[in-house]
Amino acid sequence: MRDTETDTNSENRPTMVLRQLARLLLLGLVASLSACAVSPAGHGTAADMFYKLNSNSKRQVASDFYKMGVSDDVKNLYWAQRRMQEPCSDDERPALQRKYVTVWVPEQKQPDGTITEGHYKTVEIVE
């Protein structure tokens, strides 16, 4: 019985090796096709352009994207707070009353020495 098991394993070994090679070839083919789809020849991607920049330019680009992301977070927080203030149909609290008041802001000297002229500013009052 052992001899037949050894013969069976020896027959399966080349088949297994061929299957593994076929899998590796298929994975390589899929990877190369996906790379071609993502980055067509002659057309630089943003990542390619980013890696070509010097370190100072990379810092500036990263800083700009960080500022944009922070800006989005602030905007999303603002709208979330506004939605929380809106009355719901099942809410027993009275709706918030809003009114706008125009106030005079006098001339001011900034810490860097610039002078801001006096101007009117509209302020929202929520009751």
**Would residue 6 count as lying in a domain?**
yes
Phi and psi based region of residue 42 (left: phi greater than 0; alpha: psi -120 to 50; beta: remaining): left
Give the Cα separation of 76 and 81 in Å (integer): 9
**Would residue 92 count as lying in a domain?**
no
**Would residue 127 count as lying in a domain?**
no
DSSP 3-state assignment of 73? helix
**Would residue 28 count as lying in a domain?**
yes
What is the number of domains present in the chain? 1
Please report, as a single letter, which amino acid is at residue 34: S
**Would residue 16 count as lying in a domain?**
yes
pLDDT digits (tens, 9 = 90+) for 95-123: 778 899 999 999 989 889 899 899 999 98
**Would residue 93 count as lying in a domain?**
no
DSSP 3-state assignment of 103? strand
pLDDT digits (tens, 9 = 90+) for 5-41: 455 555 577 777 777 777 777 777 667 666 555 544 4
Q: Look up tokens 């944009």; give the residue.
A: 68
Strands 98-105 and 119-126: antiparallel
61 close to 53: Cβ distance less than 8 angstroms:
yes
Give the Cα separation of 62 and 72 in Å (integer): 15
**Would residue 9 count as lying in a domain?**
yes
Enumerate the β-bridge partners of residue 120.
Answer: 104
Instruction: Identify the domain containing residue 10 by its residue range.
Output: 1-38
101 close to 125: Cβ distance less than 8 angstroms:
yes
125 close to 98: Cβ distance less than 8 angstroms:
yes
pLDDT digits (tens, 9 = 90+) for 47-99: 777 777 887 887 887 777 777 777 777 788 888 888 887 776 666 667 778 89
Give the Cα separation of 122 and 101 in Å (integer): 6
**Would residue 85 count as lying in a domain?**
no
